[in-house]
Amino acid sequence: MATLPVRPRRNRATESIRSLVRETTLTPSDLIWPLFVVDGENERVPIGSMPGCFRFSRDILVQEAREAFDSGVPAVALFPALPESLKDPLAKESANPDGLLQHAIRDLKEALPELTVITDVAMDPYSSDGHDGVVRDGEILNDETLPILAEMAIAQALAGADIVAPSDMMDGRVGYVRAALDEAGHERVGILAYSAKYASAFYGPFREALESAPKSGDKKTYQMDPANVREALREVMLDIEEGADMVMVKPAMPYLDVIAAVRANVDVPVAAYQVSGEYAMLKAAGRLGWLDEDKVLRESLLAIKRAGADMILTYAAKAIAVGAG
Ligand code: PBG
């Protein structure tokens, strides 16, 4: 027999050897659980295109977050599902100290002070136009949107949010929100910037969950073109200069190259968002019996981490952490 000195398979021979040479591991502490909150009591309203996901009323939200936290998930990211009657062109409800989201933040911090509560800063759940900015004559106005984002972030910080996450992609919003938070005495509240957020069709199920789809037009004048990666680095650099504590790439699995490029170029922590459409895709194939849902979810999250993400927002966070997939 010819000798073959180099045999990579030797390092894969047993699970114990594989565990020694493993380069990346996935643990619950890498995960952030995005949660939808709805008014009412004892509510678990299913979301059709996101099997296993619900809009929870605040009481259930606290129970669910506690189970996730007890299983090792350190953080949740909150999104309010509001009735149309509370939406208007200027997203006024977003600054209401008595609003649904603000109550949910207080409930969570009271029950679970160690849980990190991340809140989204963007107009869309509150906007009758379904856009992340102020709309005038079909145009999304940048500078007119910034003060609304700042008020929203301050209301969230006052309620107890640990980290605010601007997801709107307006220019200059991180710096604007940072200054506003500092001026209001919230210098300890962090900013997780949705820096490279693409105009993606993978957000469809999320918009169903919040009934927040744009009433007209699309988000291409503010969210990024899926064709671009250098532009993502520019966005990330700007957000860091403006004071972002962490940056995000979104979606995740179709954008692993972007995650890797960002990781290679910055020293701040990098988050990736496995968005609603990614989750829906894997769950749908699982339901049809075409894929092993638990295995593909874990593999996809491991791959996102391997690409360079320090933390991952995923709707599967609790299921992965408790081991049910
Ligand atoms: C809103 C926001 C969106 C998501 C997170 N924050 C939707 C959008 O930009 O239209 C998408 C999350 C997901 O699809 O899971 N600014």
pLDDT tens, position by position, 257-301 = 999 999 999 999 999 999 999 999 999 999 999 999 999 999 999
With vertex at residue 215, the alpha carbon angle to CA 214 and CA 218, rounded to the nearest 5 degrees, is 45
CA of 194 to the centre of ligand 1 (A): 10
Q: What local confidence, expressed as pLDDT, does residue 210 receive?
A: 86
Q: How far is CA 176 from CA 131, 145, 148, 173, in A?
A: 19, 11, 10, 5
Q: Tokens for 307?
A: 């690409």
Which ligand 1 atom sits closest to the C-alpha of 313? 15
CA of 206 to the centre of ligand 1 (A): 6
52 C-beta neighbours (distance < 10 Å), count: 16
Q: What's the CA gap between 53 and 50, in Å, rounded?
A: 6
Q: Tokens for 311?
A: 């933390």
Which ligand 1 atom sits closest to the C-alpha of 223? 9
What residues in the chain have per-residue pLDDT under 50?
A: 325
Q: Measuring from atom 2 of ligand 1, which residue has the nearest CA?
A: 167
Task: Determine the distance from the C-alpha atom of residue 192 to the mean position of all C-alpha atoms in its chain, rounded to a whole number.
Answer: 9
Q: What local confidence, expressed as pLDDT, does residue 1 receive?
A: 74
Q: What local confidence, expressed as pLDDT, does residue 5 receive?
A: 95
List pLDDT tens digits, range 90-101: 999 999 999 999
| Site of tokens 């506690």 | 66
Q: Is 150 in the pocket of ligand 1 (CB under 6 A)?
A: no
Q: Measuring from atom 7 of ligand 1, which residue has the nearest CA?
A: 203
Q: What local confidence, expressed as pLDDT, does residue 283 receive?
A: 97
Q: Which of 87, 219, 250, 305 is catalytic?
A: 250
Q: How far is CA 273 from CA 44, 138, 256, 259, in A?
A: 23, 29, 11, 10
Task: Specify the DSSP class assigned to residue 150.
Answer: H
Q: What local confidence, expressed as pLDDT, does residue 299 receive?
A: 98
Q: What local confidence, expressed as pLDDT, does residue 276 receive?
A: 98
Which ligand 1 atom sits closest to the C-alpha of 123? 16
Q: What local confidence, expressed as pLDDT, does residue 324 receive?
A: 56
Q: What's the CA gap between 117 and 106, in Å, rounded?
A: 10
Residue partners of 143: CB distance under 8 A and separation at least 6: 172
Q: Measuring from atom 8 of ligand 1, which residue has the nearest CA?
A: 203
- Annotated catalytic residue 87: no
Q: Measuring from atom 5 of ligand 1, which residue has the nearest CA?
A: 167
Task: Give me the phi and psi of 118, to 5 degrees please.
Answer: -110, 135
Q: Is 124 in the pocket of ligand 1 (CB under 6 A)?
A: yes
Q: What local confidence, expressed as pLDDT, does residue 325 receive?
A: 47
